[in-house]
Chains A and B, each alone.
Chain A
Amino acid sequence: MAKFKAMTQEWLDAYKAAIEADPEYKPMAKDWEGSVALVCNPDPSKGVPETIYIFMDYWHGDVGEFLVCDKAKAESATFVMTGDYSRWKQVALKELDSTKALLQGKLKMRGDLPYVVRNIKTVNKVIDILGNVDTLWPDEM
């Protein structure tokens, strides 16, 4: 099975395909409206020399653009989540619960928090699927 380097366009394409292939996702996300940006802070010691911006568009169970993008595009998203590389890796590997990370300030979110809490199952589902993408992590290459 092919492995994809984390936070590259190929990796995002694989992630998008995994979401589309998950039979539970579409009905679960039928009420979700809004794009999500992930911002990964740089950590040169882990192979991430610059900030990485990711834009993902979710709409009522469908998935649209999944792009590695620039800062302006990321900041245009409805929800923007920011964290260090090691935190994102922990979340993807399910070593760190995303809710716990938010409450500890390890991840920060900009956007309508009540909406996210209302749709927490959908949020947890896409994070769960992220863990299924076969990933090459920059600090392990």
Chain B
Amino acid sequence: MAGEFIENQADEVPFSYVIAELLASNLDQNPHKMRTFQKIYGVVAIDLPDIEAAVTLIFSGGKLKILKGIVGKPDLIIRTESDKVIGLNSISVKFGLPYYFDEAGLTVLKQLARGEIKIEGMLAHPIILTRLTKIMSVM
């Protein structure tokens, strides 16, 4: 079970359980995503100001620790509203890369352009972002 690779220390943040469950189920259902998961080293924060919830995801080569709040200096900070964050999981992956030219991808691109989704560090850490998208995509 992929869940054993995830340590959720953000018990008070219900959103953390959704992330953990989504990732664990995704890895169980798509074993090829485990290879990508094992390659991720980096820190990603997800901040949902509208529900006053934030978590920090610490990836260390096949393990994930989830902490409450924004901890330290993450490589990426994804900041958006709670009803838009789920859309990020709908980005397809084609030829090993996120695909932004279908309906779900274009929606995310528009939200990025309008500032409805902000990703700090995306230019400095494109590989972490690509790998994160691949393991979290449900498509």
Q: Cβ of A99: which chain B residues have Cβ within 8 Å of it?
A: 82-83, 86
- Whole-angstrom distance between the Cβ of A80 and the nearest chain B Cβ: 14
Q: Cβ of B22: which chain A residues have Cβ within 8 Å of it?
A: 113-114, 117
B21 nearest CB neighbor, chain A only: A113
* Complex-state Cα separation, A114 to B26, whole angstroms: 7
A119 nearest CB neighbor, chain B only: B138
Interface string of B20-54 (1 = CB under 8 A from A): 01100110010000000000000000001011010
| B130 beta carbon closer than 8 Å to chain A | no
| A103 beta carbon closer than 8 Å to chain B | yes
| B15 beta carbon closer than 8 Å to chain A | yes
Interface size bucket, A side? Answer: 10 to 19
Query: Which of A100, A113, A118 lies in contact with B139, CB distance below 8 A?
Result: A118
Summarize B's interface: helix, strand, loop or mixed: helix
Interface size bucket, B side? Answer: 20 to 34
Summarize A's interface: helix, strand, loop or mixed: helix
* Complex-state Cα separation, A65 to B52, whole angstroms: 39
- Whole-angstrom distance between the Cβ of A94 and the nearest chain B Cβ: 12
* Complex-state Cα separation, A105 to B29, whole angstroms: 24
| B8 beta carbon closer than 8 Å to chain A | no
Query: Which of B21, B25, B26, B53 lies in contact with A104, CB distance below 8 A?
Result: B53
By a beta-carbon cutoff of 8 Å, the part of chain A in contact with chain B is: 97, 99-100, 102-105, 112-115, 117-118, 120
User: What are 8 A-B pairs at a CB distance below 8 A?
Assistant: A99-B83, A100-B82, A102-B18, A103-B51, A104-B82, A112-B25, A117-B22, A117-B86
